[in-house]
Amino acid sequence: MSRVVQAFSKVAEEYDRWYEGNPLFLSEVEAVKSIGPVLYPSLEVGVGTGRFAAALGIDFGLDPTLSMLSLAYQKGVKVVCGTAEALPFKSQVFRGVYFLFTFCFLEDQKKALEEARRVLSPQGLLILGLINRDSPWGAFYLRKREEGHPLYSLAWFLTPEEARDLAEERGFVFEEAVSTLFRSPEEPPQEEPPRKGLWPEAGFIVLSFRRS
């Protein structure tokens, strides 16, 4: 069992409660929605407790953490245990693959993107939802990493440009970006409408790509 799986296994229910009515989460969901409707069938890699999949209507969710998958299953997500680097699916079976707050915890981001491309149908959609490392929110989570936070000490945060380069190197064509979380982490959280485009100060960036 990897360190990431061990860490998330210990906090599944607490982690899930964080999302309940949280304006940060609601802002992030709206940003993903603004990319466009979910195409079926779709897969969320690193589905966790299923909060994003349930809110967005993503039908399949994959995660290596059984305690989290149990909570996702209760939300109506079709769950599969597995890892991003070795997706247990046939090739070209999904029209959409989503990585939402998952990418920074992966052991091999390049292999995960190769696997995502494999299971996507021609012209299928890849969605990456990322904490922007160069934003105030990125600095906030980097401090948590340096302080030894049980989860974020295991994360490797990227800039949107780095994530885009990784995806394009593995056969994806960039389509658009959407940004949200412009308020400082020090301010009381509130829902924020998404903005089209890549805004450097935004804490959460959604990047969409097509399988070439």
Burial 106-126 (b: 16+ CB within 10 A, else e): beebeebbebbbbbbeeebbb
**Cβ atoms within 10 A of the Cβ of 190, count?**
10
Handedness of CA 94, 97, 195, 20 (dihedral sign): positive
Give the whole-number percent of the chain exceeding pLDDT 90: 99
pLDDT of residue 27: 98
Average pLDDT over residues 138-157: 95
65: amino acid identity, one letter: T
Average pLDDT over residues 26-54: 98
Q: Is the peptide bond before 41 cis (omega within 30 degrees of 0)?
A: yes
pLDDT of residue 1: 64
What does the mean pLDDT of the chain come to? 97
Average pLDDT over residues 182-194: 96
- pLDDT surpassing 70 at residue 33: yes
Cα distances from 75 to residues 61, 105, 124, 175, 189, in angstroms, run 11, 23, 25, 30, 25
Do 116 and 124 meet the contact criterion of CB atoms below 8 Å apart? no
CATH number of 3-211: 3.40.50.150
pLDDT of residue 134: 97
Give the whole-number percent of the chain exceeding pLDDT 70: 100
The pair of structure tokens assigned to 36 is 């466009």
Cα three-residue angle 9-43-59, rounded to 5 degrees: 95
Do 77 and 59 meet the contact criterion of CB atoms below 8 Å apart? yes
Cα distances from 32 to residues 13, 115, 129, 159, in angstroms, run 24, 21, 8, 18
pLDDT of residue 103: 95
pTM beyond 0.75: the answer is yes
pLDDT, one tens digit per residue, over 74-119 is 999 999 999 999 999 999 999 999 999 999 999 999 999 999 999 9
pLDDT, one tens digit per residue, over 107-133 is 999 999 999 999 999 999 999 999 999
